[in-house]
Amino acid sequence: MFKELQLPFVELPKSAEELRAEVRDFIKEELASKSFAPQCDSWLGGFDPEFSLKLGKRGWLGMTFPKKYGGHERTALERFVVTEELLAAGAPVAAHWIADRQTGPLLLKFGSEEQKQKYLPKYANGEWFVAIGLSEPNSGSDLASVSTKAERIDGGWRINGSKIWTSGAHRAHQIIVFCRTEPRTEDRRAGFSQIIVDLSTPGVTVRPIRLMNGEHHFNEVIFEDVEVPDYMVIGTTGNGWKQVMADLAFERSGPERFLSTFPLFKEFIRIVGESRDKSVHVAIGNLTTRLWTLRHMSLGVAGLLEKGQSPEIAAALVKDLGTQFEKDVTETIRLLVSIIPSETSDSRFEVLMAEAILHAPGFTLRGGATEILRGIIARGLGVR
């Protein structure tokens, strides 16, 4: 029997639209003062701690956190509006992205009182950055094969192993390490935990893995007898799998999963605005209708979050369709306009095109590869 996917239709409240106007004014000012230039995939490549601090001061980070932890007790829909405006503008939001998007909600759900008091205000201020330590040289899609290990020592844990493709670890303050804390049993998913590791702890080595254009985004993070105190374990020891799945739902559901190439799309429309070429009009029409549908689906996920429901299946669906869309934007425009993409060009369009082409291969991999997401969706709908 097939199950239905419940994705509510969400209309934004007046307060969210008022907030949108505020964010647009802020972006206009920032663009006028040349504080940033619009960038494709700015939530991965636009690392600007000063910009994060500015957002923190305006109350646009940690928006849904309780006030007692430095948050603003605003709704998931209001947060949606702020993030979609920043992404659409190609603003440099990478520094705080992980802390604000998923580590904060993770600690709110599973963290200890001490962890919440210590870290959430720093996330909300935009002064503390986090890396995700899931993938390993031999474990990507098959997360249950992770072999980084933490063993019990007096008053804490000793970690050994390595993580790979770790976004921003060279600039982050801490990493959330998904590791084995109990020996492997028949249940491959049992015995994992999530541990917060300060990246300055002795025994942690961060090595760059450069993109083909030389950009330093990824890292390999190696743990050699890294000792952490007990209070750095998030939630319950051994409950890591369940926690990480909740974490991934936050990671997959947001507007960043279809807006990474929006700055390119916008610039394309500006440039070809007067074109009489029918194929250009058709392409813009097709992409816009898909974008609008995705936006409503993603808003539906924000609506589920607002109600405190788990958006796991819907998030996987939005991520799958959204990242295909981001790639299609790049490919459609590349085939319609004859330019030489270049990151050093004086033309913003050529720069955006270059960024989109270079980053596109990662869209459908990061946060869960296409085939894996489709498996989750199929299981969730009862067709597998």
Ligand X SMILES: Cc1cc2nc3c(=O)[nH]c(=O)nc-3n(C[C@H](O)[C@H](O)[C@H](O)COP(=O)(O)OP(=O)(O)OC[C@H]3O[C@@H](n4cnc5c(N)ncnc54)[C@H](O)[C@@H]3O)c2cc1C
List interacting residues with ligand X (CB under 6 A): 44, 131-135, 140-141, 163, 165-167, 362, 365-366, 368-372
By C-beta, is 75 or 174 nearer to ligand X?
Answer: 174
By C-beta, is 115 or 135 nearer to ligand X?
Answer: 135
- Distance, in Å, from the CA atom of 47 to the CA atom of 119, rounded to the nearest integer, reads 20
Q: Which residues contact 140 (CB under 8 A, 6 or more apart)?
A: 165, 369
Residue with tokens 């799945």: 245
Q: How far is the CB of 283 from ligand X (least distance, A)?
A: 26
By C-beta, is 120 or 143 nearer to ligand X?
Answer: 143
Q: Running DSSP on this structure, what letter comes out for residue 239? A: B
Q: Which residues on adjacent β-strands are paired with residue 198?
A: 174
Phi-psi region of 361 (alpha: psi -120 to 50; beta: other; left: phi over 0): alpha
Q: How far is the CB of 373 from ligand X (least distance, A)?
A: 8
By C-beta, is 16 or 177 nearer to ligand X?
Answer: 177
DSSP string for 106-161: HHHHH--HHHHHHHHHHHHHT---EEEE--BTTBSS-GGG---EEEEETTEEEEEE
Token pair in block for residue 290: 């898909």
By C-beta, is 42 or 75 nearer to ligand X?
Answer: 42
Q: How far is the CB of 88 from ligand X (least distance, A)?
A: 20
144-183 b/e (C-beta count within 10 Å ≥ 16 → b) = eebebbbeeeeebbbbbbbbbbbbbbbbbebbbbbbbbee
Q: How far is the CB of 7 from ligand X (least distance, A)?
A: 24
Q: Do 36 and 48 contact (CB within 8 A), yes or no?
A: yes
CB atoms within 10 A of CB 227: 16
Residue with tokens 């990061």: 366
Residue nearest to ligand X (CB): 140
Q: Do 210 and 122 contact (CB within 8 A), yes or no?
A: no
By C-beta, is 125 or 370 nearer to ligand X?
Answer: 370
Q: How far is the CB of 291 from ligand X (least distance, A)?
A: 21
By C-beta, is 131 or 318 nearer to ligand X?
Answer: 131
Helix (H) or strand (E) holding 19: helix 14-32
- Distance, in Å, from the CA atom of 269 to the CA atom of 271, rounded to the nearest integer, reads 5
Q: How far is the CB of 102 from ligand X (least distance, A)?
A: 11
Burial of 279 (0-12, 13-18, 19+ CB in 10 A): exposed
SS3 state of residue 255 = coil
By C-beta, is 146 or 304 nearer to ligand X?
Answer: 146
Q: How far is the CB of 52 from ligand X (least distance, A)?
A: 17
Q: Running DSSP on this structure, what letter comes out for residue 4? A: P
CB atoms within 10 A of CB 362: 18
Q: How far is the CB of 25 from ligand X (least distance, A)?
A: 32
By C-beta, is 133 or 161 nearer to ligand X?
Answer: 133
Q: How far is the CB of 259 from ligand X (least distance, A)?
A: 15
Q: Which of 376, 360, 379 is nearest to 368 (CA)?
A: 376
- Distance, in Å, from the CA atom of 41 to the CA atom of 169, rounded to the nearest integer, reads 18
- Distance, in Å, from the CA atom of 273 to the CA atom of 281, rounded to the nearest integer, reads 9
Q: How far is the CB of 12 from ligand X (least distance, A)?
A: 30
By C-beta, is 81 or 143 nearer to ligand X?
Answer: 143
